[in-house]
Amino acid sequence: MKIPYGSGVDVGWMLKCQLAVTAHDEAGRLRDATSVQSHGALDDAYGGYAGELGCVVHSDNSGADVALWAPNARRVTLLLHGGPRGGDAHRVEMSEGATDGVWRASCGGEWVGKYYQYEIETYHPWGGGAPDGGLGGVVTSYVTDPYSRSLSADGERTHICDVNAPELKPAGWDSLKKPKPPGGGEVFEPTDMAIYELHVRDFSALDESTPDALRGKYAAFTCDGSVPVKHLENLAKAGLTHVHLLPSYDFGSVPERAENQATIDHGWLASLPSNSDEQQAAVGAIANDDAFNWGYDPVHYGVPEGSYATDPDGSARVVEFRSMVQGLNKIGLRTVCDVVYNHTLSAGPSDGKSVLDKCVPGYYHRRNMDGFYENSTCCNNTASENSMMERLIVDDLVHWARDYKVDGFRFDLMGHIMLRTIIKARDALASLTMEKDGVDGRSIYLYGEGWDYAEVERNRVGVNASQLNLAGTGVGSFNDRLREGIMGGSPFGDPRTQGVLTGLFFAPNGFIEQGTADNQRDRVMEDCEKVIAAMAGNLKEYRFINRKGFSTPGKDAAWVGSNVGYAAEPRETVNYVSGTFTFTFIRMGNWVTDVVFFFLTLQRTTTKPCSTASCFEARRTFHFPCGAGSTASPSPSSRSRKVSRFSTPVTRFCGPSRWTATPTTLGIGSTDWTTRARRTTLASVSRRVIRTATGTDTSATCSVICR
C-alpha cells in the first residue's frame, strides 16, 4: 500500500496510530480487514536521519543533550534520576523534530553523572494482549536509551557520561600502540591471525592467583603474574595474535549485582562422588540466577556487561573494559568482540529487558506476513533491512572500534543480517585512522556465521550476509564444509557418523549403518575433496585434480554444484573442525598431511621415485618437498607462504612411500622448528593442544581459532 506524495495525507500522524486496511464488496459490506506493518513508511518518511542520537555531554560538563529516534511516539518525557535506583524522577517534556522523527531535550550540568529513562506513549501491536493475541493499543512504556554508553546495574537506567572523558581512560590509553603483525608491516592481514576464544568470567572466576575482588572481572586481565595471564603470555609467545571475547556487551541473563547472584559451595561439589547426580541438580537449580551465561542475549549493544565490572553502577565498566584491552595489548594480543545483532533478548511494551521495541514498536524487529515477530535465531529477530536498525549496527561497531580499540568482530548468525549492512560496517571501520580516530581501521577483521536459513534463506528478505553472498567482500565466514568432511555427518544428523579423521572407511565404529566398504571409500574420498578445497582457502575458482582424475573448481568439490568452495580470497573463509557445541580433543600434529595422504592412497598414486611421469601436477596447493627417498626436514620458508600468495613453481605429489610432507598448516608451531611460520587457514576447536616452536605443549582450555 502506497500513499502518493502530495496527497495531503498526514503520514506522520498516521504512523502514530493503529492502522487497518478493509475490503468491501460492491454493496459496501465489510468482507475482510487486516492490520498494517509500517516499517517501510517509517523508512520512507524518517529513515534517512543521520544526526546525533543518545546522550551527548557538553565539553565543559555544563549540561547534556538527549536525542531519541521515535517517529511513531505520541509523547516522550525525559525522566532524570539522581541515582541508579529508587527516588522520584525529575520530568522534562521532550519536543519532536518537525521532519526527522527525533525527540530532543536538554539538562543542566548538575545531572552529568546521574541517570535517566524515557517515558514513551505509543501504539504497540502487543498492547492489550500477548504477542499471539490482542488487538494492540496505545501504551505507556519506560525504557533506557538504545544508544546508551553507560548504565546502572542490570541496565535499569542510562548513565549520563562522556565515555571519552579523561577520568574514564586508564593511563596511556590515548597513546596505546597495537602489537605489530607477525609478518611485519602496519596492516594486520587476516591470514596472519591466530585467535583464541574465551569467556571473560571463566578466564579467572576460580583462579586463586587472581585477587578475589577481580575474579571473573575485566580487571583480571591486568593481573601480572596470575596463572591465567601467564597462560596467555605463553600462547602469545607460541604465535597467538588475537583473543576473541564471548559476548561482553550488556546482556540480560545474569544479575549484575553480586548480592543478587546465586552461588554454590564448590568444596561441597568436589566432595561428591564423580558419578553422582547431585552436582548437576545443584548447579541446575541456580542456573537462572548465578553469575554465568554465554551472553548471547543482548539488551544494550553499546555498553560493556556490568557483571564483569567491579561496580555495575556507572562508568567503572567503561574504564575496566579499556584496561582489559590494554592488558591484552601488553601481552602482545589484539581483541576481537563477539557481536549478536541478529536478535534481542526481549521485545514488547512492558518487559524490563525490552529496549528497541518500546522505542519504535514493530520496527527494529523482523515480522512475518501475519505480523508476528520472527524468532528463527532463538528470539526476537532484528531487521537490519530497515534503515535505522542498520544504522544502529554500523554506529555500534564504530563505537567499539574507536572508543574501546577493538580489533575485530565475530558476528553471531551473520546470515540473518543484510549484506548491505555488513558492507557499510566494513567500509565505516576501514575508514578509521590513527590521526583522526586513534585506531587503524585497515587491520579490523569482520567474520561470522554465514548460515543461510529460515526467513532470510535465498535472499527472501534481501541479499543477506550468507556464505555464498560474501565472495569478494573480504568478510570471513565459518566453513562448515571442512567440519563435516573431517568429523562426518552434520549438526542435524547422528553424531556417530564418521568422516575423514573419525574413522570413516578406515575404522568403522559399528554403531550405525554407514554403507558398504565401497560406499564408505567413495564418501571418504568425497570428504577429502572438501578438505583439499579448505586447505586452498576454500576458493570457489581454485582448481585441483578430483578423485575421478578431472580438474575441478572448488565450487564443484565433492560433487558438481556443491558450493564447497565459495570464497574469492582466503580471508573470506574461517576453517574449523569443531566448535562451541562439541568437545573434541584434537592433536593437530600432521593431520592435514595425513588427509592428503589418505586421498593420494585412495587414488592409488605411484610409489616409485619422483619423476615427472610418476607424479601429477598440483599447482598452487600444499607445499610438499619432492624427491626420491627424501628424509630431510622441511624448512620453515617452504611452509610460510600464504595461500593467497601462490608463487611456488609446479609442486608434484609423489607416491606415499617416497615423499616427506610438510607438517600441518593449521598449528601455531611445529615440534622442532625454531621459526614460527605463518598460518594459512583457520581452524576452531573446543579443546586442543597448541604445540609451540620449541616442542612444548600448552593446553588450551577454551576454543581456539588458528590461522
d(Cα 283, Cα 267) in Å, to the nearest integer? 13
Give the whole-angstrom CA distance, residue 65 versus residue 61.
11
Task: State pLDDT tens for residues 636-663.
Answer: 333 222 222 222 222 222 222 222 222 2
* Cell numbers that stand for 232 in this block: 596467555
Residue 133 pLDDT? 53
The string of DSSP codes covering 261-274 is -----HHHHHHS-T
From start to end of 340-487, where are the E strands?
408-411, 445-448, 476-479
Tell me the residue type at 180.
K
Q: Which member of 412, 526, 527, 556 is catalytic?
A: 412
Annotated catalytic residue within 192, 390, 407, 449: 449
CB 64 within 8 A of CB 57: yes
Q: What is the mean pLDDT of the chain?
A: 83
- Per-residue pLDDT tens over the stretch 404-460: 999 999 999 999 999 999 999 999 999 999 999 999 999 999 999 999 999 999 999
Name the residue type at position 404.
Y
Q: Is the dihedral of CA 296, 299, 305, 307 positive or negative?
A: negative
Q: Would you state the cell numbers that stand for residue 6, as one nine-digit string?
A: 502530495
Lookup: cell for 578: 569443531
- Can you read off the three cell numbers belonging to residue 450? 554465514
Largest CA distance in the chain: 94
Let me know if 314 is exposed, middle or buried by CB neighbors in 10 A (0-12, 13-18, 19+). Answer: buried
pLDDT recorded at residue 674: 23
449 belongs to the catalytic site: yes
Grid look-up 539538562 returns 107
Cα(573)–Cα(430) distance, integer angstroms: 19
CA distance linking residue 688 with residue 589, whole number of Å = 11
- Identify the residue whose cell numbers are 557538553: 58
Cα-based distances in Å from 247 to 150, 194, 208, 333: 16, 19, 24, 18
- For the chain, the domains span 494-578+595-604
| Whole-angstrom distance, CA of residue 639 vs CA of residue 650 | 15
Nearest in space to 452 (alpha carbons), one of 301, 555, 563, 546: 563
Q: SS3 for 353-374, per residue?
A: CCCHHHHCCCCCECECCCCCEC
pLDDT of residue 615: 27
Taking CA atoms, 500 is separated from 390, 486, 527, in Å, by 41, 5, 6
Going through 524-629 in order, the beta strands assigned E by DSSP cover 543-545, 551-553, 573-575, 585-587, 616-617
pTM: 0.84
Task: Choose among 308, 301, 263: nearest CA to 282.
Answer: 263
* Whole-number pLDDT of residue 132: 58
pLDDT at position 490, please?
85
Regions of the chain short of the pLDDT cut 50? 581-707
Residue with cell 542490570: 154
CB environment 335-362: b (16+ within 10 A), e (fewer) = bbbbbbbbbbbbbbbeeebbbbbbbbbb
**Pairwise CA distance, residues 62 & 42, whole Å:** 35
